[in-house]
Amino acid sequence: MEITRQALYEALWSSPRKELASAWDINQNAITSTSKRQGIPLPKPGHWTLVAMGKPSSQPVLPGDPDVTVILEDKIRKPRKQKAASEEPKSDTQKPQTPSPIAFVPSEPPGPLRDPAVSISGALPTIRKAYKLYSSPKAARDYKYQHVLPGSAEVIRIAVMPEMVERALLLMDTILREFQKSQWKTQIPSERDRNKNSVFVEEVEILFTITEHRQQERVKSESRWTTWEYSYRSTGTLRFQFGTSSWMHEIKDNKRKKLEERIPEIIDGIVQEVARVKQVETERKKREHIERLESRLSDLVRKALHYNQQCEQRLNHFIAKHEEALRIRNLVETIRGADCPDQRHDERDDWLKWLEAKADTIDPTKNQSSLDFSVPKDLVAQVSSMIESDLDAYSPLKELDLEASISKTVQRIDLQESWKYK
Looking at residue 85, its pLDDT comes to 42
Measured on CA atoms in the order 282, 288, 290, 296, is the torsion positive or negative? Answer: negative
- Residues 221 and 231 sit within 8 Å (Cβ to Cβ): no
Query: Tens digit of pLDDT for each residue in 272-290?
Result: 999 999 999 999 999 999 9
The one-character DSSP state at 61 is: P
User: Can you give the pLDDT at residue 86?
Assistant: 41
**Which residue, among 75, 92, 67, has the nearest Cα to 9 in the 3D structure?**
67
Model pLDDT, residue 73: 75
* Burial class of 259 by CB neighbour count within 10 A (0 to 12, 13 to 18, 19+): buried
Q: How far apart are CA 175 and CA 181, in angstroms?
A: 10
- Answer for the pair 156, 228: CB distance below 8 angstroms, yes or no: no
Amino acid residing at 408? K
Which stretches of the chain score pLDDT less than 50? Answer: 77-78, 81-114
What does the angle CA 296 – CA 302 – CA 307 come to, to the nearest 5 degrees?
135
Q: What is the pLDDT of residue 312?
A: 93
Q: How confident is the model at residue 103, as a pLDDT?
A: 36
Contacts of 97 (CB under 8 A, 6+ apart): none
Residues 125 and 33: beta-carbon distance below 8 Å: no
Cα separation, 246 vs 248, in Å, equals 7
Instruction: For residue 105, give the nearest of 20, 24, 30 by alpha carbon.
Output: 20
pLDDT at 226: 63
Report the distance separating Cα 159 and Cα 240, nearest Å: 10
The pTM score is 0.56
Residues whose CB is less than 8 angstroms from the CB of residue 133 and which lie 6 or more positions away in sequence, other chains included: 139, 150, 151, 152, 155
| Domain assignments of the chain as residue spans, ordered by start | 2-87, 120-261, 284-420
Res 224: pLDDT = 64
